[in-house]
Amino acid sequence: MTDTQHLVSRLPNDIGGLPSETVQRIDHELEPWEKRCHALADVLDFHKIINTEEKRCGVEALGSEMVGKLSYYERWIVAFANILFRKGILTPTELALKMKEVEERWSHVGNDS
Amino acid sequence: MVEPHHDHDHDHEGHDHPHAEIAEAGRPGYYDIMETAVRELLIERKMIRADEIRRQIEVIDSRTPALGAKVVARAWVDPRFKARLLANGRTACEELGISFYDDTELIVLENTPEVHNLIVCTLCSCYPRPVLGLPPDWYKLKPYRARAVSEPRAVLAEFGTEISQDVEIRVSDSTAMVRYLVLPMRPDGTDSYSEQQLADLVTRDAMIGVIPVQLQGE
């Protein structure tokens, strides 16, 4: 096998059967934004704007570095943004401007509270 | 959990954690802001409505393993229901008033003295959410997803579950469209239990297949 063959034969999500560590039985309550992100995913699916399979492929398309380093719902929201760009529903500029607007709503909250 | 970045694949060292840093100051993090921005843009374009998001959050909150437990207990006390459940999981759950808010199929896998079932989603996190709610983090993380299909007995042992070597273990890998639910074996000594008492014994992990249903205190 060449050094790169495994990159071709297995995409980042395709981990079934690989060696891995002991299962740690961890869980957490979703943060509010994570729950909103999940609800957004469901609503996008209901309207056939982004279905579950497109979401999964969108996460895979983030590449192994982002898949490895972003948390579960971080991967989802970034994948949604990319899919919406690709479908021509949003542009990166529109999202950047809206994110700036949202961030400025919090400008009264200090960094050192 | 104290660690906010629970879901990283054990790759914490040396990266920026903008979300954690900003969250400490009471301000939303980068991805939180991105979620709000995407949602608001889609609402402004009238592609989705704010009340749909609110309603779906309520639906998510309403789905817990208690629903699956009700299905399992009914199957234990009503053989005809059980037959319908095994024939078509979705329509049988709908009989009990459990709606499916997505277009997934549900296949119910019966544990027997000969076969023990385990469910996984190796590719991501597909899970029978209408009847169990959201999956636990360990179900979504690499160790379970990677190993459940190749060394299920070792994985089960990590949950304290020893399955006899003469019992076949079947692992079912979920997809975007097909979800599974394990129908565990009814424990001995429960002949006098009411349906509700039986339902109270049935846990989320038993319906994933990583543990059997046990009597309380066992």
| The predicted structure's pLDDT at residue B217 | 65
* DSSP string of chain A, one letter each residue: --TTHHHHH--TT--TT----PPP----PPPHHHHHHHHHHHHHHHTTSS-HHHHHHHHHTTHHHHHHHS-HHHHHHHHHHHHHHHTTSS-HHHHHHHHHHHHHTTTTS-S--
How many angstroms separate the CA of residue B148 from the nearest CA in chain A? 8
- Record: contact B124-A37, CB cut-off 8 A: no
Task: Kindly state whether residues B38 and B83 are assigned to the same domain.
Answer: no
- Record: contact A23-B144, CB cut-off 8 A: yes
- Record: contact B8-A70, CB cut-off 8 A: yes
Q: Mind telling me the catalytic residues of B?
A: 121, 124-126
Task: Kindly state whether residues B134 and B95 are assigned to the same domain.
Answer: yes
Task: Kindly state whether residues B39 and B96 are assigned to the same domain.
Answer: no
Does some domain include residue B110? yes
Residue B117: count other Cβ atoms within 10 Å of its Cβ.
22
Query: Distance between CA atoms of A88 and B204, rounded to whole angstroms?
Result: 41
Residues of chain A in contact with residue B39, where contact means CB-CB under 8 angstroms, are 36, 40
The ranges assigned to domains in chain A are: 44-107
Task: Kindly state whether residues B42 and B73 are assigned to the same domain.
Answer: no
- Which residues, 6 or more positions from A99, have their beta carbon under 8 angstroms from its beta carbon? B33, B34, B37
Q: Which residue type is seen at A52? A: T
Tokens linked to B14: 């040396």
Tens digits of residue pLDDT in B10-36? 433 333 344 444 455 578 999 999 999
Task: Kindly state whether residues B81 and B185 are assigned to the same domain.
Answer: yes
Residues of chain A in contact with residue B37, where contact means CB-CB under 8 angstroms, are 95, 98-99, 101-102
Task: Kindly state whether residues B107 and B158 are assigned to the same domain.
Answer: yes
Does some domain include residue B2? no
| The predicted structure's pLDDT at residue A7 | 79
Query: Distance between CA atoms of B5 and A73, rounded to whole angstroms?
Result: 10
Indicate if the pLDDT at residue B173 is higher than 50.
Answer: yes
Task: Kindly state whether residues B23 and B80 are assigned to the same domain.
Answer: no
Model confidence at A110, in pLDDT bands (50, 70, 90)? low
Q: Among candidates B101, B75, B70, which has minimal Cα distance to B86?
A: B75
Indicate if the pLDDT at residue A44 is higher than 70.
Answer: yes
- Record: contact B120-A16, CB cut-off 8 A: yes
- Record: contact A71-B126, CB cut-off 8 A: no
Q: Which domain holds residue B198?
A: 63-208
CA angle B202, B168, B74 (to 5 degrees): 25
Residues of chain B in contact with residue A20, where contact means CB-CB under 8 angstroms, are 142-143, 146-147
How many angstroms separate the CA of residue A1 from the nearest CA in chain B? 21
Tens digits of residue pLDDT in B53-100? 999 999 999 999 999 999 999 999 999 999 999 999 999 999 999 999
Measured between CB atoms, which of A40, A43, A59 is closest to B124?
A59
Model confidence at B8, in pLDDT bands (50, 70, 90)? very low
| The predicted structure's pLDDT at residue B74 | 98
Tens digits of residue pLDDT in B95-148? 999 999 888 999 999 999 999 999 999 998 999 999 999 999 999 999 999 999
Does some domain include residue B1? no
Does some domain include residue B7? no
Upper half-sphere CA count for residue B15 (Cβ side, 13 Å): 17
Task: Kindly state whether residues B32 and B103 are assigned to the same domain.
Answer: no
Does some domain include residue B214? no
Indicate if the pLDDT at residue B6 is higher than 50.
Answer: no
Tens digits of residue pLDDT in B160-172? 999 999 999 999 9
| The predicted structure's pLDDT at residue B35 | 98
Domain count, chain B: 2
Indicate if the pLDDT at residue A9 is higher than 90.
Answer: no
Helix, strand, coil percent content, chain A, rounded in steps of 5: 55, 0, 45
| The predicted structure's pLDDT at residue B17 | 40
Does some domain include residue B216? no
Does some domain include residue B3? no
A61 and chain B in contact, CB less than 8 A = no
| The predicted structure's pLDDT at residue A8 | 83
| The predicted structure's pLDDT at residue A111 | 56
Task: Kindly state whether residues B76 and B121 are assigned to the same domain.
Answer: yes
Query: Distance between CA atoms of B209 and B201, rounded to whole angstroms?
Result: 14
What proportion of chain A, given as a percentage, has pLDDT over 90?
Answer: 74
Indicate if the pLDDT at residue B157 is higher than 90.
Answer: yes
